[in-house]
A and B are shown apart, each in its own frame.
Chain A
Amino acid sequence: MQVKFSNESREDKIFDIFITIVFILLLFLVLYPLYFIVIASISNPDLVSSGQVLFLPKQVNFEAYKYIFRDTRIWRGYANTIQYTFFGTFFALLLTIPSGYALSRKDMKGKNFIMKYMVFTMYFGGGLIPKYLVIKNLGLIDTPFVLMVLGSFSVFNLIITRTYFLSTIPIELQEAAEIDGCSILRFFIAIVLPLSKSIIAIMLLYYAVGHWNSFFNGLMYIKSDHLYPLQVILRDILISGQNLQADSTDMDYILEMERISRTIRYGVIIVSTLPVLILYPFVQKHFVKGVMIGSIKG
């Protein structure tokens, strides 16, 4: 809490100046790289690599984006990821919200055992290989289904959801509904859900970002090119340094693509991260709220 007091000491003034400088440095440290990627993606690559593009774009052109928009692999990855994120998040909400509510009710017998059953999985697991074998035996390797299912339930999110219900749905409300002969299912749908818009928003965002950014599961369980999620394709382009697909055998086209490959990479970062960064300022408060609820009880 900030307490106002008129006669500040000299030390306090120095302290204020010092922390303000730290804040400005921090802002620069985070914002500048993002800004640089934007200007580098629309500048002449030769000027970028010779260090002449630091604060303003030079010789603005959208060549890189032209190549990116012609690359079918990126857009297929995009479409796949949208599909996985949509269905995955839908499953996740279905698994998390009702069970979080059930475990918050006092009249549920055996909920302590169920909580232990769930929390145990956070601390001990079979490891990568046994899990891989289970998924293999289920015949899920290289199916879109595996990327929708994995990452669609997290015990940590369940605990956050449960804590939310514990603190927002008063027992009186539940008792009043019971006296009126309202069944639990009806109570949940007609009264609890409308009161839980904020936890639904939080969970939706947590799971959606998780699915959007998920790389490992795609690497592990997907083998066919046409099923790859966006992140796996981004790895090929950004880290393994693969070129975009040349849909033409024109030698000039390929050579030009080679020349601006660095610029293309900047453009790919923008194209792939844009949805998250545009949405982020608007939904930031929900994310923060989720952390707060989670912190009530570890």
Chain B
Amino acid sequence: MYTRGTTTVPHKSKLKTSNMSKIKGNFKKTWILYVFVLPPMLYLFILHYIPLYGIQIAFKNFKPAQGIWGSQWVGFKHFITFFESYHFKSLLTNTLILSLYSLAAGFPIPILLALILNYCRYPKLKKLVQTVTYAPHFISTVVFCGMIFIFLSVDGIVNQFLMLLGIDPILFMSKAEYFRHIYVWSGVFKGMGWSSIIYIATLAGVSPDLHEAALVDGATKLQRMFYIDLPSIIPTAVILLILNAGQIMNVGFEKAFLLQTPVNLQYSEIISTYVYKTGIQSAQFSYSAAIGLFNNIINFILLMSVNKFAKKVNGISLW
């Protein structure tokens, strides 16, 4: 025992030191890689991880003078106030409806666009349609919303065309009911080309053999589209659907905020705009932090469960 012990101990430590020196040698060579990743890690630490520490103000009565740590604990008081407030139900429904409606309209249309672009007989037309439909993606949200206001005003261009067709002008911006449709369909318009890129790329990878075989069997273009192209897009589509589902509570702040008018507030006030107003404009930091946290937790749970579900159903998952 004793001898064995003495023989193994130095052996082990030798192994260890050689391992250590290997790691050290490796580090001597690769240290610069850590210098490369340090700045972005620091960036995320300051702007993402330190704010995580600040989440506790959602459970406190935050007073700037007392600091985050020094403020008094109030537990779930702010959450309860929010759930019981008269805004809660309308904020939640507005957020969910805008989001689900956007998903329902904005998800299939880029797929359709990619499918038909794939059958365009004129390469030049195809290129032109692609270039032109991608363009709205690059217009800033502010300018885009400005255009919506101008075009949909009473004497705006849309109403001019309606009048040419003999239809009375519609008061798009001053009727609250129209808000959701305007929000969603302008979003579809802005994003459809850009979102179709990924499907166009997937379709380019479909084997031509499949199409030739289908042609020999006398399949029409429409049939080829449904039985060859559509199935080959589905894995990509599922991944994107998961990503989108995880963002259901994250309705873009900018567009909703910019399209808000006193008239449509009952439909256009969503969680993120409400957090901005209560938190930044009226400085109720703790209350709005609680609402924000509620939103993020729901989002996180949604993403996790949709991912798990997709994994179970057809083995497609994000990680």
Contact = CB atoms under 8 A, between A and B. Distances in A.
Given A109-B23, A125-B48, A130 B289 contact: yes
B204 interface: yes
A292 B48 contact: no
A99 B48 contact: no
Contacts of B125: 20, 23
Interface in B19-39: 23, 26-27, 29-30, 32-34, 36-37, 39
User: Most B CB atoms within 10 A — which of A16, A132, A158?
Assistant: A132
A269 B132 contact: no
A221 B12 CA distance: 58
A176 interface: no
Given A33-B157, A121-B48, A239-B142, A129 B292 contact: yes
B187 interface: no
B41 A108 contact: no
B145 A239 contact: yes
A129 B275 contact: yes
Contact of A127 (B41, B43, B55, B119): B55
Interface in B141-168: 141-143, 145-147, 149-151, 155, 157, 160-161, 163-164
- For the residues of B in contact with A, the DSSP-based class is helix
B289 A102 contact: no
Given A5-B215, A215-B140, A129 B150 contact: no
B138 A276 contact: yes
Given A15-B220, A123-B303, A284-B134, A220 B280 contact: yes
A127 B44 CA distance: 14
Interface residues of A, number: 94
Nearest to A117: B41
B39 A99 contact: yes
Interface stretch (B83-91, B97-105, B205-213): B205-213
A94 B220 CA distance: 52
Contact of B222 (A11, A209, A213, A272): A11
A215 B27 CA distance: 43
B32 A109 contact: no
Interface stretch (A46-54, A58-66, A67-75, A243-251): A46-54
Contacts of A29: 189
Contacts of B133: 26, 30
Interface stretch (B2-10, B175-183, B262-270, B293-301): B293-301
A262 B131 contact: no
A138 B236 CA distance: 42
B120 interface: yes
A15 B151 CA distance: 33
Contacts of A99: 36-37, 39-40
A40 to B, nearest CB: 8
Interface residues of B, number: 99
Interface stretch (A82-90, A193-201, A230-238, A252-260): A230-238
Contacts of B171: none
A234 to B, nearest CB: 5
Contacts of A207: none
Nearest to A298: B239
Given A109-B30, A130-B55, A234 B138 contact: no
Contacts, number: 265
A12 B201 contact: no
A95 B129 contact: no
A248 to B, nearest CB: 26
B198 interface: yes
A184 interface: yes
B312 interface: no
Interface string A198-227: 000000000001001101100010000000
A15 B246 contact: no
Given A1-B206, A128-B292, A295 B236 contact: yes
A295 to B, nearest CB: 5
Interface string A120-136: 01011111111111100
B61 to A, nearest CB: 14
B288 A129 contact: yes
User: Most A CB atoms within 10 A — which of B53, B120, B151, B206?
Assistant: B120
A262 B32 contact: no
A226 B143 CA distance: 21
B206 to A, nearest CB: 6
A2 interface: yes
Interface of A: 1-3, 5, 9, 11-12, 15-16, 19-20, 22-23, 26-27, 29-31, 33, 36-37, 40, 49-51, 54, 94-96, 98-99, 101-103, 105, 107-109, 114, 117-118, 121, 123-134, 138, 149-150, 152-153, 155, 158, 183-185, 188, 209, 212-213, 215-216, 220, 231, 234-235, 237-239, 262, 265-266, 269, 272-273, 276-277, 280-281, 284, 287-288, 291-292, 295, 298
Interface of B: 23, 26-27, 29-30, 32-34, 36-37, 39-41, 43-44, 46-55, 57, 68, 113, 116, 118-121, 125, 128-129, 131-136, 138-143, 145-147, 149-151, 155, 157, 160-161, 163-164, 189, 194, 197-198, 201-202, 204, 206-208, 211-212, 215, 218, 220-222, 236, 239, 243, 246, 253-254, 258, 272, 275-276, 279-280, 285, 288-289, 292-293, 295-296, 300, 303, 318
28 contacts: A2-B119, A9-B218, A11-B220, A20-B121, A26-B129, A26-B133, A30-B189, A33-B147, A51-B163, A95-B39, A102-B33, A102-B36, A126-B53, A126-B54, A126-B296, A128-B288, A129-B285, A129-B289, A131-B51, A213-B138, A216-B253, A216-B254, A238-B143, A238-B145, A266-B150, A276-B140, A277-B139, A281-B131
